[in-house]
Structure formats: structure tokens, C-alpha cells
Structure 1
């Protein structure tokens, strides 16, 4: 059984800012995991961040011991769980940032081993596999001001997943989705070429969420996102949209203000595209959501079955992520109510109820991805550890495999604590090579 992987804070940052690792997060600081990805050679990469905001009015404070800060950290682990290297950078949502940032940050290992860090809207940064340098950044801040001036961006994708043959499954943002004056994720497409520091491939759009984004102009067209031979935008886009292919499933409004999340690959030509309905301040449990099966021609062929809008609601905790084993055709989802597994036809093959004692610990984990070796990668949200959970070939054996993995996790976590001596489940690393971007 693999040992847990610590989301370690560089000792250099802890010492520079005199971070009190014993302090509660309510005191204005915290550690947050964004994504985990694995390479075919067994290495694992984790993307996470640390921040402190003590006084938002004191941006001019110079003393790092009391100043606010926000960093992103990228760590590389060996197949046996050792920390090989880390890189960090200051969080900046500005033009010219070394690593482009935004909402819904995600991580992907490209076919050539390069890492792609992506964020909303369509900001993608390429980083070498050894974390030694930033190879390229495809992102320029896009904005409109009061005079309606516009700065176009050299962007790529909001999220990327890789199919077994190396195709890039991408989500792409558009301006004016649901009449908002900003960019929201709205397209799913596939790129068959390589994404490199020298060039980016054309993304062929397959499906959209909002069929008619408003207030778009010619400058809103994505030059590298095509549909039927021309750039997507204005009225030119895949139809019918996803929201036009499913019925209204509740007594409220239709799918207006729905949101599209990261798509995952079940095969080279079959994908799972998740989206969910409008949320409400008073609570959204029971609201509709869809995990759609979409082929590489853009046709919605079905959906992942067997989840109840209330009893299995991903709105509790906003757990909308999916993972897929494209080599065996398995899809997985974890939320506060259970761990779910499907085959490539969308049939629910297993549900591990977190209400039972054996699987209750799963409520503390977030599912991020499935490795090429068939391991689910889960992050413990309080203990800041990554659990690698091997999935058996027969999903009927999933319950036993998860029980074994959780038991092994508890034992190996104890061993790791003796070695690392964390403070309040905060791990500090001083030995591995550290790169500053």
C-alpha cells in the first residue's frame, strides 16, 4: 500500500512569514488543495496554496512576518511517495504573471510529460516535469472598461484532461454566458495536436452549455476554438446545447444560470461532462444536476445513472468533480453521501454510503483524479494528505478495496507523522529542491 503524500509547505515560506501553524483558519490564514494529477511513470503532482489575510487595509505592510500573502505550490512525488521537488509562486491575477491564475484551478500531465496548470478563463501555463522552469504561459487578462475597450488574450483552456491516445479534452470559457458581463465556462472540445511552448493546437468544439451567449462581438471569437471549420462565437456554435437536450427536472426555472464543470475522458471517443443548476442562498440540495455522456461528435448519448437529486446531492459541500479511468471505462464521483462508480454505459455499479461506519471517513476527502495506473487520487481536506486508492478490475470488489485503503491510510499516516512531525496537520518540507517562479 502506498504511503500518503503530504501537501508540504516550504520551510522557507513558513520561516519568512512566521506562519503560526497552530492558529485556527478563522484567524485569517489557511492551506487549500486545488488538484492532483499523476504521470504514466507513477509520479504524482499536487497543486495547492497557502494564504494569510490579517488586514485587507494594510497592503503597504513591508514586514513579511505580519504582511498578507498568497502563494501557489506545486509538488512532485516519486512513485513510492517521496517528495522530489517543489515550486512556488505568488498568487497574482495580473498581466505578466509568471503562472497564469484564475478560478477553478486544475492540473494536467500532458502526453510529453509537461505539466499544464489551467484556470478560468482559459489561462494555461506549461511547466517542465522536473518543476525547474515555466515553459510558456497562454493567458492575457481580458477585460472591458467603462469605455468598452477590450484587450484580447492569447489563451488556451480553462481545464484539460488527456485521453489514452493523447487527445486533449478541454473546457473553454466564453463572454456573455447567461447574459453575464464576464467569462464563464461554456464549451467542451477536443484537440488532437500537441500543446507546447512553441504552439497550441486547434480545439474542435463538441458541445456548449448556454446556446446563445449575449453581447458577444467579433473580438470575442476564440481563434483556436473551431466548430465546423470556423471560430466559435456569436451564433456559430454546436447546437443543440447540453441544456437543450435534457428536460426541466424541477419546479423552478429551466437550466438558465447552470454551470459547467471539468469534463473527463471515459475513452478516446467518450466523455463525461458535468453541469448543475442554479444555486440559491437558502440551500440548493435537491437541485438538478447532470453527468452527461458525450461522444467525440458532440452527441449526448446518455448520462451516469442512479443518483437521486436529494439523497445523493452533490450540492452539499459543492462536490461536482468526477474522475475517470479511461483505460477500463470506469467513472467515479465522491460527495458527502457516498463514493459512486459507473461503467462506460452509465450504469451505476457501486455506491459506498458514507453513512455507514466503514466508509464514513470518505466525507473528509475530495476526489481529484484517476491515475493511468488505475488509482483514485483523494485529498484529505483537514489532514492535507493525498491518498492513492487502487481500483480493482471488478467494481463489485470496490467496497473491499476502499476499506483496505482507508485502513492502510490510517496506519501509514501514523508512520508519516513520526517522520515529519506535523503541527496541526501542517507539513513542512526543508529538504527537497525548491524553485521560485
Structure 2
């Protein structure tokens, strides 16, 4: 069933900071959804950022005058009502620090036991209880760590996803690559059994792909005991070969993917993964640039790619729509960008392409594709109206176009009803019912 859910701000945040909900991003108020995860129970967890930034002429102790950047994880019940919210990123009212940093580049994963894993660059991972009331574990990495600093912290992953059997599919960052400063997401890795991620317990990750192999500058300080290849920590020459850059260059010229960008891998099954790779991003424009949605098995062997996309006509670089999602229970992958919604079967064959040039589907350009649900639906977020659309996907992908047209039409009707009932200000929805936990 098509379902539209408002993504809410806690009234306590709005009241404490006297937030002007009518303000636009150009006036310093930002509300951005970062990731979504769906539970088998029908609950939906949404990770997002609320930020106010204004040029301040003088410092004030009054929260209503201060800038803020909050991270929020909200649990929505199957009927769409917010139940719990974890609030983090800003110091507590007594001045003590938040247990989690500000939510830049964070991702969300729902572990088999109901625990949530929140990960971010360059490798920090935090475990939250299912009711969002507690931080169960924190593996922190300083964001600006370098070999000259005191230490690397206690890293784990930049992003995590979970396969149907509970294996972890991870991206980890590396220092000392090529001539770059800082850490870069570079290794795709898997756990060989259930998640094994719990307070005090890190699941060992086995590297299956290395985006870039130029690691001559690495030292012992750059090795991570939990990240291994051929029985030893990944570092310098001990890494999967050929590199992912070399593998995807089979679809391009040898230098096309030099200094490329690694997208977030997603499981298409327990032992088959979609690994997006994008060529270098230039300020002058990137439409027409190379990209590959590679298919890798759990030994790092390339099993093909998601076929049927034109580098220019179907470019994900317009608007930087880099997300690919997969339904591993049904062996299907999906991608949405400014030019269309695409669906593939597990063998990489394109089964549906819905063009946003067609009038019934123009509204798709305003949505971001976030995640699948265990029930086989797609979760999309409207970037401006802050609404989550739950879109049922038919068993036959040939019927996807009709299903999307129906969902967009229903979305319009449900949005109008929600607007009349809740009266949002500039599409900012405020909630007073969810239990807020400051972490």
C-alpha cells in the first residue's frame, strides 16, 4: 500500500532554539535526510540533519541566538507516527559533549538483533539500542587524524549494510593513499558469518576489493587489526588485486577511473553485491562522465555490472544522485536520478526504465531513493517537502511503471490531506509526541 509519512522535527528543538520554520536554506535553515532503514516489523528509522547557520555579530549564551547542527534518528511506527527520536551532535544543556559527532556523511544500518549501527567518515561506528535511548558502543576515529597526530582512534567502518543472513558489507577508509591527505573510502569488505557486531565485539572484515592500490606511503600505524586480507591486516601491497579501478576500466579506457569515487555497496544477495564506482568529479561539470555499477561476489570476483545505462542520457552526476539500492530477498536493484528510475534483475539485466521526461513521472526528479523494505517496497524522500513515500514494487518489474504512476498520484492526495491536518510551515513538520533521547 502506498503510504506518505511526514519527517518531523521535535518540538523541543524548535522551541529551545526558537527556530523560524519559514526560513529557507538560503537563509540558513537546513533539513536533510541522510539515510533510511526499514525493520521487518514495519518500523522505519530515518537519519537526518537539522542545521541553522547564520552569521553572528556577537556570541550569545541564549540557544535561540546560537547556530546548531543536530543529528537525529527517528523511529516511525508502521502507521507513520514518530515514536522515538535520538538527538545528537550538540552539547547537552549542562555542557557535556554529545556521544555522537555532528552528522556529516553518516549512514544507517539495522543489525539482525534490532540494534542500529550509525557510521560515518573516516571510520567511526556507533551502536544504538532499538528504542534509540542508549549508545551501546562507540568506535571513534578523529576526523582529521594523520600519521603525525597522537593516534588513529578506534575505527570500524565508513558505511555498513547487512545481507539476508546477517553478514556485514562494509566500506572502510585508508590513510596514506597516493598523494592524498586524510582518509579516503577505499576498501570493500565483508564478514564471513552473522554480523558479530555488538558492544565490545568487532566483527572481523575480510577485504574483497580495493578501489586504489597506490599505498606506498602507508606505515604500521595505518593498519587495522579488524580489516584483513589473506590472514593479515590490509596495508601497502597486502590488498585485493587487481584493484576495483582496474576491474571497472574494462568498460572504459585505462585512465578513466584514476582518482575515482567509491559509492556505497549494497547486497544483491548473501554473496553478490552492487559496488558503484564513479570517475573523478570536476568543477566544470560531470554529465557524461564514466560510472559503473559493478557486480562483485564475496571473493571479489567481478560478475558483470548493471547494464543498460547511457553515460550521458542516464548520468547520475546531474544532482550527484549516487545511490543504488538493492532488494537481496528478491534479487533486484534500483537507481533513481534526474533522468529516470531504473530496475535490474540479479543478473544485471535492465528490466525497467521510467523516464522523468514523461509527464506522469516528472515529479520523480524531486525525490531521492533511500532504501528498500523487507516487504519489497522502495522508500523515497521528497527533498523539499520532507515527506517519505513508501512505494510498493510489483513482483513483475514490467509492471513497475504503472505502480510508480499510481504511487505518485496517491502521494499527491495524501500530501494534501497531511498538509490540511498538520499545517507545516515551509514544509517543516513539527512533532510533539515522540520521546526524545539526547545522546
What TM-score comes out, normalization by structure 1 length? 0.95
Q: Is the CA contact (8 Å cut-off) linking 1:374 and 1:390 kept in structure 2? A: yes
Given that 2:9 and 2:430 are in contact with CA atoms closer than 8 Å, whether structure 1 keeps it comes out as: yes
**Correspondences of 1:204-243 after superposition (within 5 Å):** 204-243=206-245
Higher deviation after alignment, 244-253 or 73-82: 244-253
Secondary structure in structure 1 of the residue aligned to 2:3: coil
Give the distance between the partners of 1:425 and 1:199, measured in 2 at CA.
42
On the 8 A contact 1:8/1:428 being kept in 2, the answer is yes
Q: Which residue of 2 aligns with 1:85?
A: 84
Could you tell me which residue of structure 1 aligns to residue 51 of structure 2?
51
2:7 corresponds to which residue?
7
Aligned equivalents of 1:221 and 1:64: distance in 2? 42
Match of 1:105 in 2: 106
Q: Does 1:333 align with 2:332?
A: no
Compute the displacement of 1:141 (Å): 1.1
Task: Report the number of matched residues.
Answer: 433
For residue 246 of structure 2, the aligned residue among 240, 244, 247 is 244
Q: 1:22 and 2:28 equivalent? A: no
Measured against aligned partners, the alpha-carbon deviations of 1:312-347 in whole angstroms (never above 9, x if no partner) come to: 000000001011010110000000000000000000
Cα distance between partner residues in 1 of 2:2 and 2:344: 25
Q: Say which SS state the counterpart of residue 248 (structure 2) adopts.
A: coil
Structure 1 range deviating more: 77-86 or 48-57: 48-57
- Which of 268, 275, 278 is 2:277 aligned to? 275
Distance 1:267 1:91 in 2: 38
Q: Residues 108-257 of structure 1: matches in 2 within 5 Å?
A: 108-141=109-142, 143-144=144-145, 148-191=148-191, 192=193, 193-247=195-249, 253-257=255-259
Unaligned residue ranges in structure 1 (runs of 5+): none
Q: Decide which of 347, 350, 364 is 1:348's aligned counterpart.
A: 350
Per-residue CA shift, 1:193-229, capped at 9, x if unaligned? 4111121110011001002234211010011001111
TM superposition shift of 1:418: 2.4
Deviation, 1:16, is 1.2
Distance in 1 of aligned mates of 2:71 and 2:25: 17
User: What is the CA–CA distance in structure 1 between the aligned matches of 2:216 and 2:56, rounded to whole Å?
Assistant: 35
Q: For the Cα contact (< 8 Å) 2:289–2:311, is it kept in 1?
A: yes
**Distance in 1 of aligned mates of 2:246 and 2:121:** 24
When normalised by structure 2's length, the TM-score is: 0.95
SS at 1:308 equivalent: coil
* Counterparts in 2 of 1:117 and 1:418: CA distance versus 1, 3 Å: same
Deviation at 1:104, TM superposition (A): 2.4
Alignment match, 1:71: 70
Write the distance in 1 (CA, Å) between the matches of 2:75 and 2:103.
22
CA distance in 2, matches of 1:220, 1:25: 39
Counterparts of 2:143 and 2:21 in 1: how far apart (Å)?
Answer: 37
CA-based RMSD: 1.9
In 1: Cα distance, 2:412 partner to 2:389 partner? 10
SS at match of 1:246: helix
- Cα displacement (A) at 1:96: 7.0
